[in-house]
């Protein structure tokens, strides 16, 4: 597949899913807003733009390019022996998803990584744009990690493209503030992470934040004991965000970018202290 077709598929799929989720949230919202769209959307989409530009500048070859090189040179576990294409692609997809689950756990457990990832959690509401709100350094580290996994496992290029398109779509889906009938949630939750399942992960309670790490396949959480079915306070009453960074000024784009470098105990101290 040539690069232009690859980009067209990604951008087209992303815009389509974004529009569908935004419409769903508008027609059937799950929760009342705490601060709403206006203070959040420009920053959440602004940080996405920074991420896209940074990745374009830093990585002349994307993860899919690495997959093509690995296949040509015979690198990676799956390239040791020939595989039929479909099982090879499925195994590659599964391996990438497990790796991203493990990476997400690491971003919570390692203090330096948590400094980067907590920006995703500091959003005071959760909706489709929260699924796109990640610190640029987290995105770069995540891309390097994904490339390493692609080389080590020998993930085929088609599985890398499918994984990135699906992960992008499920992230927008499972962050959306959309109401899904409970019976449908129970069925869909067996196959992919639903909005009700991921919302638990955005709870202000740390024990709930440290659960439901899956972005895509819901099975790893059940397998490794990090699954929580519901938030303790219920979906309507639960508080979204972190105990810190609750000032609405923290939703500004510049505050999102500088958040990892600031002390979370006094997040606004640098603006409010000093001579007056
Ligand atoms: Zn997280
Ligand atoms: Zn999230």
2-11, 75-84, 193-202: which range is least confident on average? 2-11
Half-sphere exposure of 89 (CA within 13 A, CB side): 11
Mean pLDDT for all residues in the chain: 93
CA distance 30 to 96: 31
Instruction: Choose among 219, 266, 223, 221: nearest CA to 247.
Output: 266
11 in the Ramachandran plot: left (φ > 0), alpha (ψ -120 to 50) or beta? alpha
215 Cα to the center of ligand 1, angstroms: 9
100 Cα to the center of ligand 2, angstroms: 13
All residues at 6 or more sequence positions from 104 whose CB lies less than 8 Å from its CB, including other chains: 117, 213, 214, 215
76 Cα to the center of ligand 2, angstroms: 30
CA distance 193 to 190: 8
48 Cα to the center of ligand 2, angstroms: 14
Q: Is the pLDDT of residue 273 over 60?
A: no
Give the closest ligand to the alpha carbon of residue 213.
1
Give the tens place of pLDDT for each residue, 177-201: 999 999 999 999 999 999 999 999 9
CA distance 161 to 89: 10
pTM: 0.92
Residue percentage of the chain with pLDDT more than 90: 87
**Higher-scoring residue by pLDDT: 274, 259:** 259
Continuous segment of H or E residues that includes residue 14: helix 3-27
146 Cα to the center of ligand 2, angstroms: 18
161 Cα to the center of ligand 2, angstroms: 21
């Amino acid at each position: 597949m040539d690069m232009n077709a690859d980009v067209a598929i990604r951008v087209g799929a992303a815009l389509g899913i974004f529009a569908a989720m935004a419409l769903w949230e508008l027609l059937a919202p799950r929760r009342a807003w705490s601060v709403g769209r206006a203070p959040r959307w420009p920053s959440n989409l602004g940080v996405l733009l920074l991420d896209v530009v940074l990745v374009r500048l830093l990585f002349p070859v994307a993860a899919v390019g690495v997959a093509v090189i690995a296949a040509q040179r015979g690198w990676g576990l799956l390239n040791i022996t020939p595989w039929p294409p479909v099982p090879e692609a499925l195994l590659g997809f599964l391996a990438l998803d497990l790796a991203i689950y493990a990476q997400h756990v690491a971003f919570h457990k390692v203090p330096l990584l948590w400094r980067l990832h907590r920006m995703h959690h500091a959003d005071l509401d959760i909706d489709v744009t929260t699924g796109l709100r990640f610190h640029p350094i987290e995105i770069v580290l995540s891309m390097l990690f994904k490339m390493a996994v692609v080389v080590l496992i020998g993930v085929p290029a088609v599985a890398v493209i499918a994984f990135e398109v699906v992960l992008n779509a499920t992230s927008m889906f499972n962050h959306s503030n959309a109401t899904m009938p409970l019976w449908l949630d129970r069925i869909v939750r067996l196959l992919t992470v639903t909005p009700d399942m991921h919302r638990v992960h955005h709870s202000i309670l740390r024990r709930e934040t440290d659960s439901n790490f899956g972005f895509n396949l819901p099975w790893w959480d059940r397998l490794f004991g990090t699954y929580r079915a519901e938030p303790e306070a219920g979906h309507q009453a639960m508080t979204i965000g972190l105990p810190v960074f609750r000032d609405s000024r923290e939703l500004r784009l510049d505050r999102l970018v500088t958040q990892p470098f600031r002390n979370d105990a006094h997040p606004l101290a640098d603006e409010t202290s000093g001579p007056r």
